[in-house]
Amino acid sequence: MSSLKELEKVKVGRRSFLKMAALSTALGATGLNAAPAVREATCDELKDPYPGSKKVKTICTTCSVGCGIIAEVYNGVWVRQEVAQDHPISHGSHCCKGIDSIDTVRTAKRVKHPLKKVNGKWQRISWDQAVNEISEKMLELRKKHGPDAAMFLGSAKMGTEQAYYFRKFAAMWGTNNIDHQARI
Amino acid sequence: MTNHLGDIQNSKAIIIFGANPAVNHPVGFKHILKAKERNNAVLIVVDPRYTKTAAKADLYVRIRPGTDIPFMYGMLHLIFKYGWEDEEYIKNRVFRMDYIKKEAKKWTPEKVADVTGVPTDVLIQVTRAYASNKPGTLLWAMGLTQHSIGSSNTRMAPILQLALGNMGKFGGGCNILRGHDNVQGATDMCCLSHSLPGYYGLSEGSWKYFAHNWGVDFKWLQNRFATPKMMHTKGFTLSKWWQGVLQEEKIYQPTPIKALWVQGNGITSVAQTAKVQQALDKLDLLVVAEPFANEAAVITNKTDNVYILPTTTQFEDEGSVTATNRTAQWRSKVIDPLYESKTDEEIMFTFAKKFGFYDEFVRGMMMGVRNGKAVKVKDTFKWPEDATREIARIIKTIGLTGWTPERLKKHQENWHMFDEVTLKGIGPMKGEYYGLPWPCWTEYHSGSPVLYNIGIPVMEGGMGFRARFGTEYEGENLLAGPFATIKGAKVKGGYPELTKENIEKVLGIKIPAREKAIMGKNWKVDLSGLIAKYALQAGVAPYGNAKARAYVWTFPDKIPMHREPLHTPRYDLAKIYPTYPDKKDQYRVDTKFISIQKKDWAKDFPIILTTGRLVMYSGAGLIERNSKYLAALEPEMFADINPALAYKYGIRDGDMIWIHSPEGAKIKVKARFTYSVSPDRIFLPFHFAGIMEGKNMSKNYPEGLIPYAIGESGNTVANYGYDIVTQIPETKAGLVRIEKA
């Protein structure tokens, strides 16, 4: 159920229309083309509102306990979050933060594109512009003041591979001015 | 954590210093509650505040912040007095406990009561309960570490455990609850200014080892630094980087800091937010790579050269994460990056190209080991698996050799096949512990769920204490005694860490010359893996079997000593237990100790300040304050205040108050009446930001990105003060004054 064509084939019932409305960002205009006629939900749909969805095992990103999360993904959209009943540490438990993990992608408050502050006002810029301007400025500072003019603050929110690479990043930039939350 | 959460269910006694797992690690706390239910374990909570964790305790100890060492010495005083220590254990496994015994003798219950504020009968009750219920586990978090004597506190706690023989036992150990999901992993990778990944330090030998493993010329790497010396010089820290900009205290590098690069760090979670703000204002360039509008870009008045780069959450990426108990878990990608977000590694790769070191940056992922040397073995790489392999290949110190992506993924797929209490696998996962807790010495090793446990064979996770500091000190043997033989080991008692030179002698074996030829100098740099292989065959851990040091000759205090907080409410005690002399060039900046403490701050700032977390939030709160549900449940910053204290200032529940710090910073927050704090202290959560010293900064957020909750940052009034070794800020024992707003 990954392509739009396949989706169009689905007869739209009341539930799936609502679902589609929710998915409208992913679907674009296609979702709106489908007629909002109400029909009886099929047996499969009664059992499972997201037929063919994928259940992805992952780990909570809040604290260090490491609770399991089952993320239900339907057509590339994280639609529901389940506790992992069989996870050896969390055994189906979640705290208020963990159970809300889905909100880290569902919230409207995500930074959506690169931003630059110009004369006190935020402006939308492209990645290319951001990368070019930042690297130019960084290299200029490095040339003028040396690599220790930069301070890198990395993260306990990174994965282990990323954290390792962030350390390497600072090393190859040429400084030990690198730190993260474990200091505190 | 030396043990793991499930293992706490084996404990008969649990003592918690400065941690509040009921709020900060609720699912972890479940294991503690199970220990109470199933094991009838006694739960003791030592905390300046009656927390939600304390509410579940059998015994609660309201301690004055910053006096954990006297309290623990008080416990040891009674333990030695009544012979509750584990003498045999101490004799075989601890170096110079007699020094501790001598110091403990001074800390009578009466003296402890005077310093800590804990009544003598409570100390006696707690000590008796803890010492007579074994095994006992000791937990801590930032309540113990965020002090000017934080590093001594973290030594004191294991010493208490060693005295009782609780280290290296099921249901025992020191179980430190880390904050974020991957603090353990990022620490192991040493995203830190004083070390290369795997705690290899910054020595020339270490840099050479990494240069070799990254496939780059050591000279090239050295030339990347300002001078060869800077390569071996610890950098600025998260605690005090801002002095690198402001230079109010002397700094020790050729240039001030001009550019700050923040990638996944809520920088309002360190003390002195007002100083952080001033430093941000003075920067030439501020780059913030985050999924949300990090307040670093908001609290600053800087008008130009501030960039925010949209970065994915870990749900839009893949890789491993290390939980507080040293287990690795594989995160599968849930969805593709949203909007224009890039993953953290993609951002690094993009800029590495621009900075001209991309080829060198990624080469390590295309390397493998041939004849004991790291060489390039392929021309492309796959993220993150090849990065996981690179880490496993290099990091021997904490035993990550066994952490291959294949094994970690298999554990994730089969996480239902592991036992909660032992972490032991069943069926196809038999012989392995869930998440292969490090050290996981080889690709066929089980992982080690309980550190320093000599009661089980090394192949099942057993080991002694690491022999890291030679074999003797001042003529005294540092290696473990004859009765500390690891179960099933061919070597009796203690033995040194294994090197190419000593391995044959220590293990009593003969190794073929062709193997000796490719073997690394010692177990930490042996890419051939032969030292680990022969060690496991002999049933010993490659890192030796030594005594744990109660006495550490390289630390400012050889044994942990009480020293009053820099801002102490007991100026009289600061004369008896003064802090350290000021420290020059601590992580590139001078740091004040005695020159702060010599003034009696309590005259003008009579109220103790301590900080902590709320259940709805974590860290700087950036993630949760952008969740409308969590923010709705805890929308506003506040100060917990005892009604008796509030009465003195004419403050009513819900009134706005000003809180002033000795450094001249202030915050305006709502007073919340509670008896959880005693009338001499207040409590502040530190998750809020967006309001600075009464000024609402919300116009500084990019359009539409104001979090659902903003507020004063509690750390704005957290006092100056840093640990002598680690430079962790002293946010858990400060002084303030308050007034009605």
> For chain B, what are the domain ranges?
6-176, 183-376, 597-740
Measured between CB atoms, does B699 come within 8 Å of chain A?
no
DSSP B677: S
Number of Cβ within a 10 Å radius of residue B246: 18
Q: Residue B483: its pLDDT value, please? A: 95
Bridge partner residues of B522 (DSSP): B499
The tokens for B349 are 């790769």
Measured between alpha carbons, how far is residue B311 from residues B288, B315, B648 in Å? Answer: 9, 11, 48
How far is B135 from B173, CA to CA, in rounded Å?
9
A55 with A83: CB under 8 angstroms?
A: no
B737 with B606: CB under 8 angstroms?
A: yes
How far is B147 from B723, CA to CA, in rounded Å?
6
Bridge partner residues of B469 (DSSP): none
How far is A137 from B305, CA to CA, in rounded Å?
9
Place of tokens 């090793």: B445
Q: Residue A33: its pLDDT value, please? A: 52
| Closest residue to A150, CB basis, from B177, B261, B321 | B261
| Closest residue to B261, CB basis, from A66, A89, A153 | A153
What CATH number belongs to B6-176? 3.40.228.10
C-beta atoms of B27 and A93 within 8 A: yes
Instruction: Name the phi and psi angles at B696, rounded to 5.
Output: -75, 120
Q: What is the DSSP string of B379-447?
A: S---TTHHHHHHHHHH-TTTT-TT--HHHHHHHHHTGGGB-TTT-BB-GGGTT-BTT-PSP--STT---
Distance from CA of residue B187 to its chain's centroid?
A: 7
> For chain A, what are the domain ranges?
4-47, 54-106, 111-145, 146-184
Q: Residue A21: its pLDDT value, please? A: 44
* Residues in chain B closer than 8 A to A146 (CB atoms): 226, 254-255
How far is A68 from A90, CA to CA, in rounded Å?
6
pLDDT (tens digit per residue) in B505-564: 999 999 999 999 999 999 999 999 999 999 999 999 999 999 999 999 999 999 999 999
For residues B23-55, b (16+ Cβ closer than 10 Å) or e, as one string? bbbbbbbbbbbbbbeebebbbbbbbbbbbbbbe
B732 with B18: CB under 8 angstroms?
A: yes
B717 with B660: CB under 8 angstroms?
A: yes
Peptide bond into B65 cis (omega under 30): no
For residues A1-18, b (16+ Cβ closer than 10 Å) or e, as one string? eeeeeebeeeebbeebbe
Q: Residue A15: its pLDDT value, please? A: 45
C-beta atoms of A111 and B304 within 8 A: no
Residue among A160, A166, A169, A172 with most chain B CBs within 10 A, to mutate = A160
Angle of CA points A184, B6, B8, to nearest 5°:
75
Please give the single-letter amino acid code of residue B343: T
Contacts of B382 (CB under 8 A, 6+ apart): B365
Which stretches does DSSP call E strand in B20-164? 42-47, 59-62, 94-95, 136-140
Q: Does residue A23 carry a pLDDT above 50?
A: no
Distance from CA of B269 to the nearest CA of A (A): 8
Bridge partner residues of B310 (DSSP): B290
- Report CA torsion sign: B699, B704, B710, B716: negative
Taking phi over 0 as left and psi of -120 to 50 as alpha, with beta for the rest, A138 belongs to alpha
CA atoms within 13 A on the CB side of B428: 8
B47 with B20: CB under 8 angstroms?
A: yes
B29 with B22: CB under 8 angstroms?
A: yes
What CATH number belongs to A54-106? 2.20.25.90
User: Which fold, B597-740?
Assistant: Barwin-like endoglucanases (2.40.40)
Instruction: Name the phi and psi angles at B494, rounded to 5.
Output: -75, 160
* Residues in chain A closer than 8 A to B425 (CB atoms): none
Peptide bond into B439 cis (omega under 30): yes
B146 with B722: CB under 8 angstroms?
A: no
The tokens for B340 are 């224009």
- Report CA torsion sign: B222, B224, B229, B233: negative
B659 with B717: CB under 8 angstroms?
A: yes
How far is B370 from B376, CA to CA, in rounded Å?
9
How far is A146 from A151, CA to CA, in rounded Å?
12
B264 with A157: CB under 8 angstroms?
A: yes
How far is B61 from B58, CA to CA, in rounded Å?
10
Distance from CA of B560 to the nearest CA of A (A): 20
User: Which fold, B183-376?
Assistant: Rossmann fold (3.40.50)
B607 with B735: CB under 8 angstroms?
A: yes
Number of Cβ within a 10 Å radius of residue A52: 11
Comparing CA positions, the residue from B100, B49, B99, B39 lying closest to residue B75 is: B100
* Residues in chain A closer than 8 A to B225 (CB atoms): 147, 174-175
| Pairing outcome for strands B42-47 and B59-62 | parallel
Q: Does residue A4 carry a pLDDT above 50?
A: no
Bridge partner residues of B470 (DSSP): none
Comparing CA positions, the residue from B1, B16, B93, B6 lying closest to residue B54 is: B16
H/E stretch holding B78 reads helix B68-81
* Residues in chain B closer than 8 A to A183 (CB atoms): 192-193, 237-239, 726-728
Distance from CA of B620 to the nearest CA of A (A): 10
B479 with B546: CB under 8 angstroms?
A: yes
B124 with B78: CB under 8 angstroms?
A: yes
The residue of chain A nearest to residue B225, with distances taken between CA atoms, is: A174
Residue among B232, B281, B301, B321 with most chain A CBs within 10 A, to mutate = B321
Place of tokens 């000024």: B695
End-to-end Cα, chain A, rounded Å: 46
The residue of chain A nearest to residue B302, with distances taken between CA atoms, is: A120
How far is B590 from B252, CA to CA, in rounded Å?
8
What SS3 class is residue A26? helix
Residue among A151, A166, A175 with most chain B CBs within 10 A, to mutate = A151
Measured between CB atoms, does B617 come within 8 Å of chain A?
yes
Q: Residue A36: its pLDDT value, please? A: 62
Residues of chain B with pLDDT below 70 are none
Please give the single-letter amino acid code of residue B643: P
| Closest residue to A159, CB basis, from B304, B338, B384 | B384
Contacts of A87 (CB under 8 A, 6+ apart): A67, A68, B415, B416
- Report CA torsion sign: B5, B7, B11, B17: negative
